[in-house]
Amino acid sequence: MSLWQIAARNVWRNRGRYLAYLGSAAFAVMIYFIYTALALHPDLQEGEAGVVVGVTDGIQAASLVIAGITFLFLMTSNAAFTRSRKKEFGLWSLMGVTRGQLIAVVLWESFFIAAVALAVGLGFGLLFLRLFFMAISALLGRSEVLAVHAGLPVWLHTLTVFGGFFLFVSLSSMVDILRSTVIELIRAERKPKAEPTFRWWKALLGLVLVAGGYAWASSPSPSAIVLGVIPVTVMVSLGTVFLMREGSVAVLNWLRRRERFYYRTGPMLTISHLRFKLQENARVLANTAVAIAVILTAVATIYTLLVVFAHEAQMRNPHTFQLVEPAEADSAAGAVEAELHRHGVADWVRQELVTVWGYVEEETPVIVAPYSLYASVRGTPGAARPLPDAAGGALLIYPYTSLDSGAEKRDPVPKELTVGGRTYAVSVIPEWNGLPVNASGELRTVLVVSDAQLEQIVAESAAEQRLRVTMWDVDDWRSREASAAAQALSLQFPDDQAAPGPRFTSTIPAYQASVSGWGLTLFVGVFVSLVFFVTTCSVLYFRLFTEIDEDRRYFRRLQHLGVSQAEMRRVLLQQTQIIFFVPFLVGLMHCTFAMKALGTLAQRPVLHYGWLIALGYLGLYVLYYAVTYAVYWRTLSGGNARIA
């Protein structure tokens, strides 16, 4: 039998161990192939019309992240495979297999695995390429779907990157084998396990780091949150490594001392075996917990930004359609309504306001609005904020969010409003919610005063300072008809400071731009996170399968002692559930505090977005665990009712 045939039989015999390795690598190849095809698509090259700025750069950056994650995954998993097969390699050496032949067999095995992973990944990538392009076209708002593009550079790029990865990983795995003697290879699996010991100083240090990171993330100050992003991440990550190891030892030792609980068949077998398993795998479990926290937090953050910026677009443009024009000029409202009729937009509510524009402290251009409009405008969150009690009380509403959480609680500040040649004393409180009119041109900040004061200011103002603001509100503003009307009106009345005439603004373009940009980011980010997620789960899969020979001997001894098959399955189920789900729970806890910090920055509760994302990934995690447990038990038992 030739060496390549031996390698092929080895791969087939160990297919259970290689299943997650192949699946994870093939999935990464598929996503990388699709992203490369998109990045090299001729219609998305720089300068093409209708392209969101930075799309190709973002796709290329995502491809690099995928490549980096996959490379680390291949290195880690291949090293684990090599360690688990050292005894096998030692026996081959005893039977007269030379080191050169051993390397040849391992390289042939790596070649078969790489070929299958590349073939499956490229095949599924080509299969889903059109569907992916359709989704990207919809997010970019293109009228035509991107043509399927998978030219020779796409194939060569993918094959070169991942082929190089597989070759490098295969060669690097040989270093440890070549440096080990035959005796070291054979004894690799027989090294005695040390009794798990609890180190209180590591546990205390881990607790202090995690608690300190959580406390910092819970700070009510947005500035403190911004400064603490990197320090908190480092603190919590290091603390997790210490706590996962020392905490597991402490908890299991405590359970052993509960004699009434421990001296039962199930708990005794589970806890006694877990003490050594968790000690050996503590670092892997801690890294898994941190990786899950990163995945959940990253995706939840992007989703939160999508929701927040879409909401901000509505807050900056509370009216579906708005026209601002000089009050003395002929109104163009009729032309707007004619366009709405032409596109089938009906059932609108029209409001009209005659107001003025001016400057606050001669530096901030503002449009003045009555308090009644501010209080009634659609989209104002909660009850309208009352005007200050001081004379000339006013609200200065900005079209952006402030990180100064205490600004709105300060006392009114005396300022001067200049309208033409007249000045008015106002007592101003800053506000960042509920613009009563759409932000238009340079008039993006609104000064809200009492209705009586506005009437006085308008009456005393010169004609060139007066503006007519006409607003149309439509309930079904997300409809295609409303979108088409907004697009046509934007061309007819540009919101351009240099262009004379009326200025048109609408909720729809700003909202669509936010949803399109952040939706594309979320779409790309989810696939990157899935690669990270699958490789993270696969690491746990490998840890189980690298210990399968030891577990088989352990359960065989339990059989000889009379432990039933059902009890052994129960013990295995409990152990694997703890190994899989404890890291997810720890990662979810980290994600919870990260989302709490994000809520402080966003000035609104966003924790539920993080839990919603976590729920989706939990479903995938449970599915992955179910498949892993089924494959593991079948491999452990050899497909028989009893342990082989």
Q: What is the 8-class DSSP label of residue 190? A: G
Q: What is the DSSP string of 128-172?
A: HHHHHHHHHHHHHT-SSPPPP---HHHHHHHHHHHHHHHHHHHHH
Q: 547, exposed or middle or buried, with CB in 10 Å at 0-12, 13-18, 19+? A: middle
SS3 content of the chain, % helix, strand, coil (to 5): 65, 10, 20
Q: 268, exposed or middle or buried, with CB in 10 Å at 0-12, 13-18, 19+? A: middle
Of 613, 623, 619, whose CA–CA distance to 541 is shortest?
623
- Cβ neighbours of 55 (radius 10 Å): 22
Q: What is the pLDDT of residue 49?
A: 42
Per the structure block, which two tokens stand in for 227? Answer: 């400064």
Provide the pairing of β-strand 348-360 with 422-431.
unpaired
Per the structure block, which two tokens stand in for 472? Answer: 């149309």
Per the structure block, which two tokens stand in for 186? Answer: 């054979």
Of 446, 436, 442, 418, whose CA–CA distance to 360 is shortest?
418
Beta bridge partners of 431: 397
Q: What is the pLDDT of residue 46?
A: 52
Q: Torsions phi, psi of 155, nearest 5? A: -65, -45
CA-to-CA distance for 93 and 103, rounded, in angstroms? 11
Per the structure block, which two tokens stand in for 469? Answer: 């603001």
- The average confidence (pLDDT) of the chain is 83
Q: What is the pLDDT of residue 293?
A: 94
Residues lower than pLDDT 50 in the chain: 47-53, 378-379, 641, 644
CA-to-CA distance for 289 and 50, rounded, in angstroms? 41
Q: 478, exposed or middle or buried, with CB in 10 Å at 0-12, 13-18, 19+? A: middle
CA-to-CA distance for 320 and 370, rounded, in angstroms? 19
Of 317, 316, 352, whose CA–CA distance to 467 is shortest?
352
Q: What is the pLDDT of residue 585?
A: 95
pLDDT tens, residue by residue, 607-623: 999 999 999 999 999 99
Q: 401, exposed or middle or buried, with CB in 10 Å at 0-12, 13-18, 19+? A: middle
Of 587, 573, 589, whose CA–CA distance to 625 is shortest?
573
Q: What is the pLDDT of residue 180?
A: 65
Q: What is the pLDDT of residue 47?
A: 47
CA-to-CA distance for 548 and 14, rounded, in angstroms? 11
CA-to-CA distance for 281 and 539, rounded, in angstroms? 11
pLDDT tens, residue by residue, 588-609: 999 999 999 999 888 889 999 9
Beta bridge partners of 364: 360
Q: Are 443 and 433 in contact (CB under 8 A)?
A: no
pTM for the full model?
Answer: 0.83
CA-to-CA distance for 442 and 507, rounded, in angstroms? 17
Distance of CA 517 to the CA centre of its chain: 15
Q: What is the pLDDT of residue 50?
A: 45
Of 195, 196, 192, whose CA–CA distance to 247 is shortest?
196
- Rounded (10°) angle between helices 86-94 and 55-84: 50
C-alpha angle 437/442/444, rounded to 5°? 35
Q: What is the pLDDT of residue 513?
A: 86
Q: Are 412 and 388 in contact (CB under 8 A)?
A: yes
Q: Are 249 and 197 in contact (CB under 8 A)?
A: yes
Q: What is the pLDDT of residue 299?
A: 94
Q: What is the largest CA-CA distance in the chain?
A: 105
Q: Which residues of 362-399 are buried (b: 16+ CB within 10 A; e: fewer)?
A: eeeebbbbbbebbbebebbeeebbebbebebbbbbbbb
Q: Helix H segments across 362-479?
A: 371-376, 451-460
Distance of CA 235 to the CA centre of its chain: 21
Q: Which residues of 56-88 are buried (b: 16+ CB within 10 A; e: fewer)?
A: bebbeebbebbbebbbebbebbbbbbbebbbeb
The upper half-sphere exposure of residue 248, i.e. CA atoms within 13 Å in the direction of its Cβ, equals 27
Q: What is the pLDDT of residue 642?
A: 53
